[in-house]
């Protein structure tokens, strides 16, 4: 067992645990980008969200919503980011599914580059068709 999140879930590595049940564990990020930065993960090892049963993903995000309310009440931020990354290209640094809850304040130094660009409807329809076919 070399996965750091599996070690935390098994109580074989230290963490500031906020919540735990049979399926999930939530703990403070040891390298927080803001006060209250929390990670929520399944205890079982799944590398990406696509590896999880959809019902388990639903329960994960039900817990995330509950924990967002708790972080909001405890830290009193101006906003929250909820991030879930899959794969190195998407900034997933630990190959174990986890959701970041990141409290945000106006003027904080946290930045996400999002190079949005306009797309025409024909392009969007073509991609939508490929996604529908993959369902």
Q: What single-letter DSSP state applies at residue 54?
A: H
Distance CA 102, CA 78 (A): 11
98 in active site: yes
Would strands 38-42 and 17-20 be described as parallel, antiparallel, or unpaired? unpaired
Residue from 45, 98, 100, 106 carrying the catalytic annotation: 98
Strands 38-42, 24-28: pairing kind: antiparallel
Beta bridge partner(s), residue 99:
40
Task: Give me the residue label for tokens 């392009």.
Answer: 123
> Can you tell me the distance from the alpha carbon of 68 to that of 60, in angstroms, rounded to the nearest whole number?
12
- Positions marked active-site: 98
């Amino acid at each position: 067992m070399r996965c750091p999140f599996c070690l935390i879930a098994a109580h074989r590595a230290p963490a500031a645990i906020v919540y735990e049940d049979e399926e999930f564990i939530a703990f403070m990020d040891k390298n927080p980008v803001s006060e209250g930065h929390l990670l929520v993960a399944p205890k079982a090892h799944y590398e990406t969200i696509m590896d999880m049963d959809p019902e388990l993903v639903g329960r994960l995000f039900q817990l995330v919503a509950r924990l967002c309310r708790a972080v909001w009440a405890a830290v009193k931020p101006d906003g929250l980011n909820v991030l879930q990354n899959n794969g190195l290209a998407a900034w997933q640094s630990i190959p174990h599914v986890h959701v970041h809850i990141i409290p945000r304040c106006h003027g904080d130094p946290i930045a996400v580059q999002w190079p949005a660009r306009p797309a025409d409807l024909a392009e969007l329809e073509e991609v939508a068709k490929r996604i529908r076919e993959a369902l």
